[in-house]
Structure 1
Amino acid sequence: MSYTVRSLHADEWPRAKALRLEALRDPVASIAFMETYGSAVARPDSYWQELSERRAEGASGTQQIIAAGPDGEWVGTVTVVMEEAGTTDWAGLPVERRQGHLVGVYVQPGHRGIGLTEVLFDAALEWAWAQGAERVRLLVHEDNARALRAYRKAGFVETGVTTTLGPAPDERELELAVERPDPESDL
């Protein structure tokens, strides 16, 4: 089965909204995402339009990657948020180096286990490296075994950093185990 993996376009906000709402209905959504289906579905269309504009191809600082199946249906997504050295991230963790933070990872159940997550990550990493990221990381709930397996398979390793996003320190930081590619290597 062939997939198309590319950046989101701003005018595709209805499809981005639909995929996000689908992700928020996943059985592990309560530990995988920072919002609920109820709060997301209540947001006005203007919210989804603005979010897609910020995450669209060519927008600065954030990039959403989508995967479409052979029939054009969107079946997966990941978003990269660039974080600047010397700041703190949205979870309150210090940012020591310019980094890409992968968020909103979702692949439909019928498309899991075939390498699509890695393909989405490859596109996200390519964009992050092009933005000058020195490392790429993500946070995952310690009870989200499926996601932990997928991220490890994609080359992410635990850093030992945990953070509290709920009542207990349950989010683990993972970072890509490989160094940023040398931009001179293609010359």
Structure 2
Amino acid sequence: MGRGRWATQDRQVAGGRLLGDADVAAALAVCALDPVASVLATARLESAARTGLRSTGGQLWGYEDAGELLAVCWAGANLVPVVPVEDAAEDALDGFAALASRHGRRCSSIVGEAPAVLGLWDRLADEWPRAREVRADQPSMVLDDDPVLAPDPAVRRSQPGEYPLVLPACVRMFVEEVGYSPVSGSDGPYEARVRSLIADGRSFVRIDDDVAPDGGPGVVFKAELGAVAGGVAQVQGVWVSPSHRGLGLSEPGMAAVVAATRRDVAPVVSLYANHYNARALAAYRSVGFRQVGTYATVLF
């Protein structure tokens, strides 16, 4: 049974507290205890450290004991709990659930390290709308050395002029993974996100000729660096065109992404995938990734 049972207008609720700009440095120190597990939150906090929390479009929650910040939760488009101190987990999640109950569901997912995500959802399930899907077992993997396979020389960073080719591939991947289209118009948030990843050099593609329906060029492999923070770059959106699956593109493609990322972006490359996606997990292991933890995602 869920445990989300508190409601109050106070800034501090059941041990949870709404944090401000003065707390960002301490929150980053909490995230640094496990940089791979916390990379999604750390990316937001590093932005807040530069421009202030107000500009990030979300809130930062914290749990303290004896004046020491022990856990944080990023509350924005995604709810991302970071609870690295095991002894504080139950009380921290109680506090975050209280704050989430007060504000209501505003996020599209709860995502992060599995114990924190599933513990938070257990406390909220009776109050929030039913989840569309709970992905409770998503191996979290890292590679902090050179890939063991030779990189595909055709995989490279996308160029801004290739946006019309990259966007359809991103949309197809999203629909396959989540079940609905993210498209909302030429200036929609998903489209802006794809443009931003390309502009920031965080979109990787292999574009082959004569593969599109009209006989023109098309994306046959793609991946993005969805979060970069704390010395970690998390790969997201890995996709191979259905017409090219089974041809061995994913392994050397991922090797190319890892090599370029470790050279230019961050020394540690991470990703997470559903436990039932045996093909993808085997491909990542063949590149050199190893499991270091487990993520979970609650989708609404």
Q: How far does the alpha carbon of each residue in 1:67-103 deviate from its partner, in whole angstroms, 9 at most, with x for none?
A: 1224222111011245322xxxxxxxxxxxx011110
Assess, with a 3 A threshold, how the Cα gap between structure 1 residues 13 and 49 changes in structure 2: closer, same or farther.
farther
2:180 is matched with which residue?
37
Partner of 2:291: 158
Which amino acid in 2 is paired with 1:76?
F
Q: Is the counterpart of residue 4 in structure 1 residue 146 in structure 2? A: no
Say whether residues 1:46 and 2:187 are aligned partners: yes
Secondary structure of the 2:266 match is coil
Unaligned 5+ runs, structure 1: 31-35, 86-97, 168-187
- CA distance 1:83–1:102, shift in 2 (3 Å): same
Greater RCO (CA < 8 Å, at least 6 residues apart) = 2
Q: Does 1:142 find its partner at 2:275?
A: yes
Q: Identity of counterpart residues, as a percentage?
A: 23
81 and 127 in structure 1: CA distance in 2 versus 1, 3 angstrom threshold? farther
Other-structure match for 1:75? 220
Moved runs in structure 1, 4+ residues, more than 3 A? none
Task: Tell me how far 1:25 sits from its aligned partner.
Answer: 4.1
Q: Distance in 2 between matches of 1:121 and 1:75?
A: 13
Paired letter, 2:295: T
Map 1:124-143 to 2 at 5 A.
Answer: 124-143=257-276
Displacement of 1:133 after TM fit? 1.7
Q: For the Cα contact (< 8 Å) 1:82–1:133, is it kept in 2?
A: no
TM-score (structure 1 length as normaliser): 0.64
2:202 pairs with one of 50, 63, 73 = 63
Provide the TM-score with structure 2 as the length reference. 0.42
Gaps of 5+ in 2: 1-151, 211-216
Given residue 250 of structure 2, which amino acid in structure 1 is its aligned partner?
T
Taking a change above 3 Å as real, the CA distance of residues 144 and 14 of structure 1, as seen in their structure-2 partners, is same
Of the two, which has the highest radius of gyration?
2
Check the 8 A contact 2:254/2:284 in 1, yes or no: no
> Over aligned residues, Cα RMSD in angstroms?
2.5
Look up the match of 2:67.
none
Aligned partner of residue 45 in structure 1, secondary structure: coil
- Residue equivalent to 2:165: 15
For 2:236, the aligned partner's letter is V
Provide closer, same or farther for how the CA distance between residues 45 and 104 of structure 1 changes in structure 2, counting only shifts above 3 A.
same
The alpha carbon displacement at 1:21 in A equals: 2.0
Return the letter of the residue paired with 1:145. Answer: A
SS of alignment partner, residue 143 of structure 1: coil
